[in-house]
């Protein structure tokens, strides 16, 4: 497991936290912050950001921003709410976001990767084709969700093509270092830290952070808010990335998951971080 | 409608926001900040605080901290999760919190009111007996929930007595001024602003704020986080109170509710507040 | 375990079945047909019959006649269908039927028992007060259902009084011999076999039989229709009674229940009976 | 609307019903009994019969025989019951039956049609390719169900091919005369009336009748049992076919459907038929 983060440069008073945090790294996790892993659902934050940038508030006609509650009845909720997913981070919502991007991009896979390269300031980000293909052979549940939403008219593209895009998106590999650097965007009001280029507006950035806060951890969003107190997003690959708006971003990775699909050691490390430093949003 | 708030005194740089906010007050809402209204579910924050203070982390064996998702199947969730409510702010959870308090207090109604008087620094807080009685005659749904949880062993006291305590608790009346002053506690790390007396620890305060953030607005917690970006709690009386940890608290009141049970103008005012001042947690 | 039945006298051609059946009795179950047991939910057929006799088709404004499907979401269904239970044999429906009887009878407990004595031609039927009281101490789930329906306006009487009536009703004890004799009413078009007195019309009798067929076995109605092919009703006391309209009635009793709450040996005996005799309705 | 039926020839005492029924026909519906319509879901009885004939009791490992209760949560039930549909007549179950046939037949579409020709003693039965194709363009909900079951391992064939087979099957057109003649098989213990050839055993026939009784009318199975009192099956084309085991079969057709998807006049005609003739199974 490794943990890496980079603070928003202008906030000098975080030095004490940095020292403490580095001591954790030295003790438990030193050395792997450059190892790449499959970011999986964390990529949904990038696709949401891109789609929100393109469509603006019209995006919310296609997907809601509410936490989903229990996992077992997501299909009922889709039915109850006429094919509008609860939020962009449950599978149904992420698939709608993919569909939205496919409607507005000429070459979705290429352009999406270009967008990730831009916000990560990193030209070496690639899809892992092998992982994307292997997911596809077990994608029946996602195909079920897509067909169900298409029955409600909330999917415009071909189901197989949306699935292909979605699995590619989830196959992106990044290291903790790369992830935390990329998520500085959300700690920095939507501007790239190096160039100060605005990717999305401050207002939209705040709203993406709010969605991460309430919906970023499957059925454990409340637990994460309760113990860690930061907006963030986890992936089944064992990665978690979190953001303190205006202050810092942090990424952790440890593959062992708890029953709800979140990294056990990752959650614990972040809980330690915000408890010891008292640097959470609450 | 009226809106009132008081900033945490030591934060001088909020002056600009204050000025702006006062201009809203002058324009829309001037003058009623002393009018009392039924705080209803907002009182659940006080009962949660008191129970958490008494039981500590053992409280979470009786009630969870996850958002509840859709409202229509709360009873299914109770069944699915063996009588453990999703969080302390849905009715089921608030009833469990009442039951917990009744187990640990000799005279629950008196001692709870004393606690509210303490944290509000206000000896004039009373139950409105008339409102409490009138609720009771329509309390069948809450009686259903209580009996259902008792079947799972998660209610220890007599159902009618828990209901009576619960309806009294919800009948408390406060003005916007009183509410915002009381909620400064949660902006101030659990300490009373005037005396610096610690009511609950900073860590517990952060966690209560996190629960308000993820669960404080019925099935609109995500929408509130998205648009307002503050922890808070609403009541069907039309009141909303919100907190910026370390900075300020704010209370609004306007009786007209939207379909999800939250004050229409209240939500809109708070959205304006945090958008114009850029003072949200995200 | 014992099995007993009495054929509708005028149907002479059933003699061969009778002989065969008696041989089953001799082999497996001889001797206990006079032993009394708690008929539990089987009593719901009597209360339905009495309420249907009194209200006629107006009864169906308060309770539906559809099978309930899965057991786990009966409270959702109640909510989804605005407090109208799916059928008179799930608990919610049986409680509504009790409420209906209480509205129309001066002394519900006495008059209901008189009705059972009439249709069973047996003055020795009594409530078992001890069983009724012991149920009451665990009746929280039924109290939950009652309060929930009262919230929808579908319960008119005091919840505790409905519960008391319901638990008394379920506490009735009868032997297999008595049960099968009583259910001849439903094999005989609603007329008492001995006196030919019409208790309910032939048309209503057919409809009660139809409800037994589709809803008489909790979540195993389909299995019972599939394997046995007769209208019937089971109780958690281990009793099952079934009817071949125009032909015979049969009662079995064996306390061991399967996961769905029906007597294991009882279902197997009846399957043997209708398979070997080829005397089912299908 | 037209109504047509043919009685099982050896039962002479039904003449009075026949006369009565003919008078209905003369009055309301005379003359269209030869008009073909799309039998839609009624074809599920034929596919069930064929699959049951081939697999015997092993079929029930793939699909259950319980009524499905409410329609809105069929996907939840699939999840709750690990991909095993409640019964062979809901879409999920019919799709599994198609998948079963595809596993065991070399040329499913041809062999299935041959089977229908055999039991209907009618070489002119064909698929309506145009209808099959038009369904396919709106088949997203069925594709969702298929993919969902495939995620549980209960679909063995390619999803698109199962859908193609299913839509062909539902596109069969028959007249009331043809339907009622074909369903005589189920009134005649599984033997063809003309040749006495056994298509399926008497025991299996009874069980198919039982499934029609408890599951044949979407969420109105109880209502149909209550009012009509015969096993049967409806289709969204407006057709209904019913069977009195050992006695007769009857088919009606009238396109206007009620909210639950069953023919309004069809149900009413059959209610009149069994009420006036007193010829139901109850």
- The conformation of residue D136, written as its DSSP 8-state character, comes to H
How does pLDDT run across C209-245, given as a tens digit for each residue? 999 999 999 889 999 999 999 999 999 999 999 999 9
Rg value, chain D, Cα: 18
Q: Are strands D239-244 and D232-234 parallel, antiparallel or unpaired?
A: antiparallel
Asked if D275 is an interface residue toward chain C (Cβ–Cβ < 8 A), one would say yes
Q: Are strands B36-38 and C36-38 parallel, antiparallel or unpaired?
A: unpaired
* Alpha carbon distance D128, C243 (integer Å): 44
A 150-179 → D contacts, CB under 8 A: 150-151, 159
Half-sphere exposure of C275 (CA within 13 A, CB side): 16
How does pLDDT run across A138-183, given as a tens digit for each residue? 799 999 999 999 999 999 999 999 999 999 999 999 988 888 889 9
The count of CB pairs under 8 A between chains C and D is: 119
* Alpha carbon distance B97, C185 (integer Å): 53
* Alpha carbon distance C256, D43 (integer Å): 40
Question: Does residue B232 contact residue B217 with C-beta atoms inside 8 Å?
Answer: yes
Chain B neighbors of C76, CB-CB under 8 A? 72-73, 75-76
Answer whether C75 sits within 8 Å of B150, measured CB to CB.
no
* Among the listed residues D178, D200, D235, D212, the one whose alpha carbon sits nearest the alpha carbon of residue D281: D212
Question: Does residue C254 contact residue C209 with C-beta atoms inside 8 Å?
Answer: no
Element (H, E) at C154: none
- Note the pLDDT of residue C71: 58
* Alpha carbon distance A29, A1 (integer Å): 5
Mean pLDDT, all residues of chain A: 85
Question: Does residue C216 contact residue C277 with C-beta atoms inside 8 Å?
Answer: no
Residue A5 has pLDDT above 80, yes or no: no
Sheet holding A239-244, edge to edge: A2-7, A248-253, A239-244, A232-234
Chunked into runs of 10 residues, chain D (282 residues) has average pLDDT values of 38 34 38 80 98 97 87 68 91 96 98 97 93 86 93 95 96 90 91 90 96 93 94 93 88 89 88 83 92
Tell me which chain C residue has its CA closest to the CA of residue B143. Answer: C147
Of D76, D144, D146, the CB nearest to A151: D144
Answer whether B150 sits within 8 Å of C140, measured CB to CB.
yes
How does pLDDT run across C106-124, given as a tens digit for each residue? 999 999 999 999 999 999 9
Q: Are strands A173-175 and A36-38 parallel, antiparallel or unpaired?
A: antiparallel
CA torsion, ordered B146, B149, B155, B157, to nearest 10 deg = 40
Q: Are strands A36-38 and C239-244 parallel, antiparallel or unpaired?
A: unpaired
- Structural domains for chain D: 2-277 (3.40.710.10)
* Among the listed residues C236, C227, C186, C233, the one whose alpha carbon sits nearest the alpha carbon of residue C207: C186
Residue C82 has which token pair? 């605005």
* Alpha carbon distance B203, C119 (integer Å): 69
* Alpha carbon distance D168, D145 (integer Å): 18
**Looking at CA atoms only, how far is residue B27 from chain C in angstroms?**
42
Residue C157 has pLDDT above 70, yes or no: yes
DSSP string across D196-242: --BSS-HHHHHHHHHHHHHHTTGGGHHHHHHHT-S-EEE-TTSEEEE
* Alpha carbon distance A119, A100 (integer Å): 20
pTM: 0.86
CB atoms within 10 A of CB D106: 7
Answer whether D70 sits within 8 Å of C69, measured CB to CB.
yes
* Among the listed residues A167, D262, A170, C74, the one whose alpha carbon sits nearest the alpha carbon of residue B148: C74
- Note the pLDDT of residue B20: 38
* Alpha carbon distance A74, A33 (integer Å): 35
Q: Please, which residues bridge with residue A189 across strands?
A: none
Asked if C81 is an interface residue toward chain B (Cβ–Cβ < 8 A), one would say no
Residue C28 has pLDDT above 90, yes or no: no
Of C73, C138, C151, the CB nearest to B144: C151
Of D72, D73, D148, the CB nearest to A144: D148
* Among the listed residues A74, A68, A236, A94, the one whose alpha carbon sits nearest the alpha carbon of residue A169: A94
Chain D neighbors of A140, CB-CB under 8 A? 147-148, 150-151
Tell which phi-psi region holds residue A56, choosing left (phi > 0), alpha (psi between -120 and 50) or beta: left
- Note the pLDDT of residue B73: 54
Question: Which parts of chain B register pLDDT below 70?
Answer: 1-33, 69-74
* Alpha carbon distance D264, A248 (integer Å): 65
Ramachandran angles phi, psi of C4, nearest 5°: -150, 145
What percent of chain C stands above pLDDT 70? 86
* Alpha carbon distance D149, D144 (integer Å): 9
**Looking at CA atoms only, how far is residue C246 from chain B in angstroms?**
42
Residue D128: is it exposed, middle or buried by C-beta count within 10 angstroms (0-12/13-18/19+)?
Answer: middle
What average pLDDT does this structure show over A12-16? 34
* CA dist A268 → A4, A36, A64, B214, D251 (Å): 15, 21, 30, 20, 67
How does pLDDT run across B83-130, given as a tens digit for each residue? 999 999 999 999 999 999 999 999 999 999 999 999 999 999 999 999
Asked if C147 is an interface residue toward chain B (Cβ–Cβ < 8 A), one would say yes
Tell me which chain C residue has its CA closest to the CA of residue D277. Answer: C203
Residue A112 has pLDDT above 90, yes or no: yes
**Looking at CA atoms only, how far is residue D81 from chain A in angstroms?**
12
Chain D neighbors of A99, CB-CB under 8 A? none
- Note the pLDDT of residue D74: 67
pLDDT higher for B133 or C20? Answer: B133
Answer whether A72 sits within 8 Å of D73, measured CB to CB.
no
């Amino acid at each position: 497991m490794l943990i890496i983060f980079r603070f928003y440069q202008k906030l000098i008073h975080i030095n004490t936290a940095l020292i403490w945090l580095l001591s954790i790294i030295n003790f438990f996790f030193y050395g792997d912050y450059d190892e790449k892993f499959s970011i999986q659902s964390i990529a949904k934050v990038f696709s949401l950001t891109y789609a929100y940038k393109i469509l603006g508030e019209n995006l919310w006609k296609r997907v809601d921003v509410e936490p989903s509650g229990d996992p077992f009845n997501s299909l009922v909720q889709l039915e109850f709410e006429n094919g509008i997913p609860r939020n962009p981070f449950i599978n149904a919502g992420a698939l709608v976001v993919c569909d939205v991007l496919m409607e507005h991009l000429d070459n979705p896979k290429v352009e999406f990767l270009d967008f990730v390269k831009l916000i990560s300031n990193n030209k070496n980000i690639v899809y892992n084709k092998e992982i994307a293909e292997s997911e596809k052979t077990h994608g029946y549940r996602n195909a079920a969700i897509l067909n169900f939403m298409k029955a409600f008219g909330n999917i415009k593209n071909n189901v197989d093509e949306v699935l292909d895009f979605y699995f590619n998106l989830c196959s992106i590999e990044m290291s903790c270092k790369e992830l935390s650097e990329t998520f500085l965007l959300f700690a920095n009001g939507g501007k790239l830290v190096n160039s100060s280029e605005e990717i999305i507006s401050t207002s939209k950035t705040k709203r993406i952070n709010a969605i991460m806060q309430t919906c970023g951890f499957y059925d454990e969003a409340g637990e994460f808010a309760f113990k860690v107190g930061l907006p963030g997003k986890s992936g089944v690959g064992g990665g978690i990335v979190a953001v303190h708006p205006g202050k810092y971003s942090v990424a952790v990775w440890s593959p062992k998951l708890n029953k709800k699909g979140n990294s056990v050691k990752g959650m614990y490390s972040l809980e330690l971080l915000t408890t010891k430093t008292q640097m959470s949003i609450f």
